[in-house]
Structure 1
Amino acid sequence: MVDHTRRDVLKLSGGILGGIAVGSTVTAAESTDRFIVEAKKLKKKDLKGLDLVHELPGVKFSVVEGAKSAVADLGVNFAPDIEMQLSDPVQAQASELEDEPLYGLQWDKEAINAPEAHEVTRGEGTRIAIVDSGVDGSHPDLAPNLNAALSRDFTGDGYGAPGPYGGDHGTHVAGIAAASDQNDVGIGGTAPAAELVDCRVFSTEAGASFADILAANVYAASIGCDVINMSIGAYPVPRKGLGEFYGKVLNSTMSWVRRQGSLVVVSAGNDAADLQHDGDVISLPNEASNVMSISATGPIGFNWGDEGLEAPAHSPSFYTNYGTNAIDLGAPGGNADLEAAGNDVPGWYYDLVFSTIPGGYGWKAGTSMAAPNVAGAAALVASQLDTSNANKVKKALRNSARDVGNKEYYGAGFLDAEAAVKK
């Protein structure tokens, strides 16, 4: 692989990959008619000209819709909701091998010792919420584990959840975390016996709102999800002003979710940014308290036909955000030799993460793909506990992580599912 600086590689990603966006980064815009208000409970007589969208039980905030002047009349602190747009990860064509076992393409499971972990537990009795763009409920690798009755659509676009239209991004994430390994086709997830719940927050027609994402987390915790995966994020958000309010809302919500026993796993973002030294901005939601922030790693040269790898599976991915005290764990999210991709070198996409997509399988890379590997491992750990305990699961994952060097990129280390379940 040709040696490039990190800055050069990011420039190449736009040009060589034809402008394909990398990972889970979203752009954010303020809503003009939807607001988050600091009020644990609002009475109907107070909501003159306003509609209550989300009450967020257990959290001292609510979400209302209407004119800003009417919100101001409530006499409480408030801020506009944020409308988010989800970018697509680095990706390659879908596989046409739907009727054959494809586990051999899942270098990510080998890297974290998932097969060895499955000799102890496959995640039986646990529940993972996928807060994302939707999950294809008809996919043969996901249908056996998907709880359709508990799945919810938070967008209000009328399509519901789950469904065969399920989002490309959310379906890929769900497969990484908990694709079934008992149907003799396709792939297996990190926690192949865990139950999946689709919490769809990205509309098929528009984006997602910050408030809907909060509501999805509150719901997931209320139905006993052991793990909540959020492969989404907004960066950079100014730390002062509205950023302080959003941080306060997010921290309050995540604190309540943790107390219910749910561990929230979040992608760290794909801007190659040093989150520890990035000035007066923050990355949300991964820099919230009470969550796990996950950076991405990946090999260069997996299954290209050559002997050996140019970079091992725990190598930091070219796009991943990093930063001391900003990252909890590094995990497989996929990597790419961008010159090889640009010149269509055969097999370059094998270094991406292979998982489910609506109607089949495909490769993607991003911290979006790293987070569900950790979410699956968290479910494996949770399956060995008598009751859900987010702190115990987080501690087990961090304490069992492999020390592979630079804490800026790995935090406590590189994910090791086998070591986590044997702690």
Structure 2
Amino acid sequence: MVPSTRRDVLKVSGALLGGIAVGSTVTAATSTDRFIVRTKGRGLPSGVEVVHEMPGTRLAVVSGDEEALSSSNRVAEYGPDTLIEIGEPEVNTDAPTLEDSTVSDEPLYDLQWDKQDLDVESAHETTMGEGTRVAIIDTGVAAGHPDLNVNEDLSRNFTGDGFGAANPAGGYHGTHVGGIVGASDNGAGVIGTAPATELVDCRVFSPNALASFGDILAAVAYSASIGADVANLSIGAYPVVRQEFGSFYGKVLNRVMTYANSQGTLLVISAGNDAADLQHDGQVCMDFDDDGEIECNPVISLPNEGAQALSVSATGPVGFGYDASDYGGEQPAQTPAVYTNYGTNAVDLGAPGGNYSPEAYSANVPGWYYDLVLNTIAEPTYATDGDGNVTGIESIDYTYSWVAGTSMAAPNVAGAAALVKSANPDYNANQLESALKRAADVPSGYGKEYYGSGYLNIVDAL
């Protein structure tokens, strides 16, 4: 990762990874010595060091002197790598782990309203996802969690932090996402949508550090190279200005995503948690460059509005397992979540991601968190040096917790795609997406803008 002392900081509004804190602020930073490069197919110039190669795309991530790129006839275009900070939501942080709750002695499936509403039990009579592979591009998936089947040999750490792969070095989030996709059918804990699929950890976040856009691109290309049937990206930034560097990032993202799709890897991506209308956002006015002045720019949400993305919005109940009559009333599981981004042409499917009643949350009503999504987490304790810098992972606590966000909706779709692929091994990425969309319907009483083709229906897709 590029040292923090060498970042020029820009402000971007909107939650990045997981979460339901509407209007939170994350930070994007452009690197001064690390670049994303599109070549002319004649290799890279001397004077730079390759960080990531992306065969099949004519793209690479390099470090070194910018002058070596600007003066080279081998380079078609380039831009500074961008580092983006995790925006953790307050409500997710406040949700208890299972061992802290009052229901730790209850059967865990009874608490998984998302799997119940999707009727995964019926789907599993056809397949549990055997013979499929799902890459999780995230904070790290803990292979040590007893409920997860992670291919450690194929797992990769794209950050360069030296802390390895198949572990939650970047935090609990990736393990929760991985569990939603594929928590095992082992008679204990929770169940995933595709419990027999093989998970591959592609870690792009480090402890207390920003994620590199270049690392994310490399992880997508790698997922395709190892034959992943699906890659889940519960990650995104909004609003990103379409002009200047935003245009470049959009072009290189589209190139990598189109390549992955052509190799048979379906890209399932969270739509974002800003309660934003991505169809009609037009120009957004804010202080984009932190100069104290308000600028108005056309914007885009990335990567979910990139080429070949299957963009997923979030739904969830209100009042699952507790009385919500005094807190806005009970709502069914297919209800659009209060935080989810939406937009008819910006969302492809709606899926369970968790919801909440702001009134119940503010009042800390017992059981308010049941409306979030329960699944696996792994919480690391970090070893640090005398200056507080993280030097490694000291220990990991494997447990379960409730989390919400479009980050939780996307892996339900990724797991569904794995089931469809298992039942139809010859399907390519486009056929997988088509099967999921054809089976979906917009719930009665709700607008298409929240669902795209409709609400995820696994049984009909099979």
User: What is the TM-score of this pair, normalised by structure 1?
Assistant: 0.90
Q: Give the one of 111, 135, 138 matched to 2:117.
A: 111
1:184-221 CA deviation, whole Å, 9 max, x = no partner? 21000000111000000011241211111010111111
- Within the alignment, does 1:150 sit opposite 2:191 as a pair? no
Counterpart of 1:343 in structure 2 is 363
Matches within 5 A, 1:69-218: 69-75=67-73, 76=75, 77-89=77-89, 90-91=91-92, 92-96=95-99, 101-142=107-148, 145-163=149-167, 165=169, 167-182=171-186, 184-218=187-221
Question: C-alpha distance in 1, partners of 2:256/2:24?
Answer: 21
Question: C-alpha distance in 2, partners of 1:114/1:39?
Answer: 45
Q: Which has the larger displacement, 243-252 or 294-303?
A: 243-252
Question: C-alpha distance in 1, partners of 2:168/2:50?
Answer: 30
1:21: how far off? 3.8
Change (3 A) 1:211 1:24: farther
Counterpart of 1:361 in structure 2 is 400
On the 8 A contact 2:26/2:84 being kept in 1, the answer is yes
More strand by share: 2
For 1:345, give the aligned amino acid.
V
For 2:431, give the aligned amino acid.
K
Question: C-alpha distance in 1, partners of 2:108/2:346?
Answer: 34
Question: Stretches of 4+ moved more than 6 A in 1?
Answer: 97-100, 306-309
Counterpart of 1:47 in structure 2 is 46
Question: C-alpha distance in 2, partners of 1:416/1:138?
Answer: 31
Q: Give the one of 396, 415, 418 matched to 1:379.
A: 418
1:339: how far off? 1.4
Matches within 5 A, 1:309-320: 310-320=330-340
For 1:63, give the aligned amino acid.
V
Change (3 A) 1:218 1:85: same
Change (3 A) 1:40 1:416: farther
Partner SS, residue 86 of structure 1: coil
Q: Give the number of equivalent residue pairs.
A: 399
- Within the alignment, does 1:227 sit opposite 2:220 as a pair? no
Change (3 A) 1:132 1:384: same
On the 8 A contact 1:25/1:234 being kept in 2, the answer is no
Counterpart of 1:37 in structure 2 is 37
Q: Which has the larger displacement, 299-308 or 118-127?
A: 299-308
For 2:305, give the aligned amino acid.
E
1:415: how far off? 0.4
Change (3 A) 1:99 1:42: farther
Gaps of 5+ in 2: 1-14, 283-297, 379-397
- Within the alignment, does 1:415 sit opposite 2:456 as a pair? yes
Q: Give the one of 277, 281, 292 matched to 1:278.
A: 281
Q: Give the one of 338, 341, 350 matched to 1:321.
A: 341
On the 8 A contact 1:24/1:267 being kept in 2, the answer is no
On the 8 A contact 1:59/1:252 being kept in 2, the answer is yes
1:77-133 CA deviation, whole Å, 9 max, x = no partner? 111111011122432010017786411110001112211111111111100000000
Q: Which has the larger displacement, 370-379 or 242-251?
A: 242-251
1:55: how far off? 1.8
Counterpart of 2:291 in structure 1 is none
On the 8 A contact 1:231/1:369 being kept in 2, the answer is yes
Gaps of 5+ in 1: 1-13
Question: C-alpha distance in 2, partners of 1:377/1:20?
Answer: 23
Question: C-alpha distance in 1, partners of 2:223/2:167?
Answer: 18
RMSD across aligned positions (CA): 2.2
Question: C-alpha distance in 2, partners of 1:309/1:178?
Answer: 32
Q: Give the one of 252, 257, 269 matched to 1:254.
A: 257
Counterpart of 1:9 in structure 2 is none
Q: Identity percentage over the alignment? A: 59
1:54: how far off? 1.4
Change (3 A) 1:336 1:356: same
User: What is the TM-score of this pair, normalised by structure 2?
Assistant: 0.82
Partner SS, residue 87 of structure 1: coil
On the 8 A contact 2:20/2:274 being kept in 1, the answer is no
On the 8 A contact 1:116/1:418 being kept in 2, the answer is yes
For 1:131, give the aligned amino acid.
I
